[in-house]
């Protein structure tokens, strides 16, 4: 991820910690069976995480370009 994208990702993470459902983040569950959630980390960039079953916690496991995100989620 380019430096500018990293800076935006850090800023958006701070927003997410305060308000995960802030409209600019597009935080949403994308694979309900697997408990996978998505958040926008910058223009053209997304992050994926898994919600722990008995906790209100997301474990982030992937950050990358939106085109790769679409492939991971089978949107192509």
Percent of the chain with pLDDT over 70: 99
For position 71, what pLDDT does the model report? 92
Q: Is the pLDDT of residue 2 over 90?
A: no
Sheet holding 28-31, edge to edge: 28-31, 36-42, 45-51, 58-65
Question: Domain 3-72 adopts which CATH fold?
Answer: YaeB-like fold (3.30.2310)
Task: Please check whether residue 43 is in contact with residue 50, taking contact to mean a CB–CB distance below 8 angstroms.
Answer: no
Question: pLDDT averaged over the chain?
Answer: 89
Across the range 3-25, mean pLDDT stands at: 89
pTM of the entire predicted model: 0.84
- Given pLDDT bands bounded at 50, 70 and 90, which one contains residue 76? low
Any idea where the domains of the chain sit in the sequence?
3-72
35-62 pLDDT tens trace = 999 999 888 899 999 998 777 889 999 9
For 44, which DSSP code?
T
For 53, which DSSP code?
T
């Amino acid at each position: 991820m380019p430096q500018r994208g990293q800076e935006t990702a850090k800023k958006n993470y701070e927003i997410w910690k305060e308000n995960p459902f802030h409209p600019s983040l597009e935080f949403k569950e994308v694979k309900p069976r697997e408990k996978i959630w998505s958040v926008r980390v910058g223009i053209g960039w997304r992050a994926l995480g898994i919600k722990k079953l008995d906790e209100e916690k997301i474990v982030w496991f992937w950050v990358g370009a939106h085109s790769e995100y679409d492939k991971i989620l089978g949107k192509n």
